[in-house]
Amino acid sequence: MNAISTAITNVEAVRATLHDAMAADDRVLIIGEDVGARGNVFLITKGFLEEFGAQRVIDAPLAEASIVGVAVGMAMQGLRPIAEIQFADFIYPAFSQIVGEAAKTRYRSNGDYTCPLVIRTPYGGGVRGALSHSVSIEALFYHVPGLTILAPSTPRDIKGLLTTAIESDDPVLFLEHKKTYRSVRGEVPAGHFTIPIGKADIKKPGTQLTVVSYGYNVHQALDAAQQLEDENISVEVIDLRSIRPMDKTAILTSVRKTRKLLIIHEDNKFGGIGAEISAMVSEEALFDLDAPIRRLCGPDVPAMGYALPLEEAFMISTERMQHAMRDLARF
């Protein structure tokens, strides 16, 4: 494990952060499918079983409700479990444990118990993953008070936020866009550092319109915005990083400056994160808006198809983002 700062990929950042956390605190453990002997399907935990032992790297059966349920119990008893859901598409059986138990533990016990649980899972499409390996799940959970939902998309943000999540006393759903695992690379500071939950990051400042996004879409939005600079269109790109709690202040400050808002998310449009952001901005900054709020989102279809044309129709291309930004700037 290289402790000096170098450019690493997103998946390497996850691995490094988990390793550092396991090494620093005996209470931290990992439970999930194929995390032990197999070392995780993306090799994130390769070697962990040998290094930390079977008590702390636990291979679970195909039973997501149990993975999370057991982890909730561990967390309430003082351990710091990191439960892995192998693909976000498998998370549905664990819904009751996440929403009904983990999210409510502190409130229900009046603070007598907390639930310092991290549930991490790869999500998102664009890898020919089809129906069972492409879904976005944030909209299902961000509605729930008591849960923290994080979706960083750069190595630095992953390390800082995953560290904070592991050290948090409350449950965190940590979403990793699988298409960024090996395609996004960046510098990461060596040593321990944290990034506060609930803070967005302006990945590119601009003046004519605000783009709010997260996950893989952030990188596409940055590409599109960079190309539009050549057309003298200045786009500000905000990476949410934290979906719940959401950085209202950053969004409103930006919208008040640019007066135009484009929300981009791969997830289905209806009831997605964009809906909440739109409502919030309309409520609090209506008289700063010079154009209707625009959402560029995934179609409202049940899944991302396996056929390449279907996948490409679902995923938002960089070109479509450019068009949307240009249209809005010109409005």
Partner 1 sequence: MPQLGETVTEGTVAQWLKRPGDAIEKYEAFVEVSTDKVNAEVPSPVAGIMRELIVKEGETVPTGAPIAVIDEAGSLAEPLPVPVAEPAAPAPAPAFAVADLVPVAVSGNGHASHNGTRVSPAVRRLAREHAIDLAVVRGTGANGRVTASDVIAAAGAPRTAAAPVHAAPMHAAPEPAPAPAVPNAPATLPELIPLTPARRLIAQRMVESKHTAPHAWTMVEVDVTNLWKWRTAAKDAFERETGTKLTLLPFFMHAVAESLRAYPLMNASFREDGIAVHRQIHLGIATAAGGNLVVPVVRDADRLSIRGLALAAGAIIDRARAGKLGVDDLTGGTFTVNNNGANGSVLSAPISCRSRRRAG
Catalytic residues: 133
Q: How far apart are CA 165 and CA 243, in angstroms?
A: 13
- The answer to whether 316 and 215 are in contact (CB under 8 A) is no
Residue from 25, 231, 300, 312 binding partner 1 (CB under 8 A): 231
User: Of 3-11, 148-156, 237-245, 286-294, which part binds partner 1 (CB under 8 A)?
Assistant: 286-294
User: Of 1-9, 145-153, 164-172, 255-263, which part binds partner 1 (CB under 8 A)?
Assistant: 255-263
Residue from 191, 286, 308, 309 binding partner 1 (CB under 8 A): 286
- The answer to whether 207 and 153 are in contact (CB under 8 A) is no
Element (H, E) at 293: none
Residue from 289, 303, 310, 313 binding partner 1 (CB under 8 A): 289
Angle 100-102-104 from CA coordinates, rounded to 5° = 65
User: Of 11-19, 123-131, 183-191, 290-298, which part binds partner 1 (CB under 8 A)?
Assistant: 290-298
Residue from 78, 271, 292, 299 binding partner 1 (CB under 8 A): 292
Q: How far apart are CA 69 and CA 96, in angstroms?
A: 9
> How many positions of this chain bind partner 1 (CB under 8 A)?
18
The pair of three-digit structure tokens given for residue 69, joined into one six-digit string: 């349920």
The residue among 34 and 288 lying less far from partner 1, judged by its C-beta, is 288
The residue among 88 and 285 lying less far from partner 1, judged by its C-beta, is 285
The residue among 110 and 287 lying less far from partner 1, judged by its C-beta, is 287
Which residues neighbour 285 within 8 Å (Cβ) at sequence distance 6 or greater?
252, 255, 256
DSSP for 151-180, written as a single string: ---SHHHHHHHHHHHHH-SS-EEEEEEGGG
- Per-residue b or e along 49-71, where b marks 16 or more CB atoms closer than 10 Å to that residue's CB: beebeeebbbebeeebeebbbbb
Q: How far apart are CA 174 and CA 71, in angstroms?
A: 15
The reply to whether 330 sits near partner 1 by the rule CB under 8 A is: yes
The reply to whether 326 sits near partner 1 by the rule CB under 8 A is: yes
Which residues neighbour 59 within 8 Å (Cβ) at sequence distance 6 or greater?
32, 33, 34, 35, 36, 37, 38
User: Of 106-114, 143-151, 197-205, 283-291, which part binds partner 1 (CB under 8 A)?
Assistant: 283-291
Residues in the chain, total? 331
The residue among 169 and 290 lying less far from partner 1, judged by its C-beta, is 290
Q: How far apart are CA 146 and CA 123, in angstroms?
A: 21
Residue from 27, 185, 199, 257 binding partner 1 (CB under 8 A): 257
The residue among 76 and 238 lying less far from partner 1, judged by its C-beta, is 238
Location of structure tokens 């006393």:
169
Cβ at position 256, least distance to partner 1 in Å: 6
The reply to whether 288 sits near partner 1 by the rule CB under 8 A is: yes
Residue from 256, 275, 280, 310 binding partner 1 (CB under 8 A): 256
Query: Given the rule CB under 8 A, which residues bind partner 1?
Result: 231, 256-257, 259, 286-292, 294, 324, 326-328, 330-331
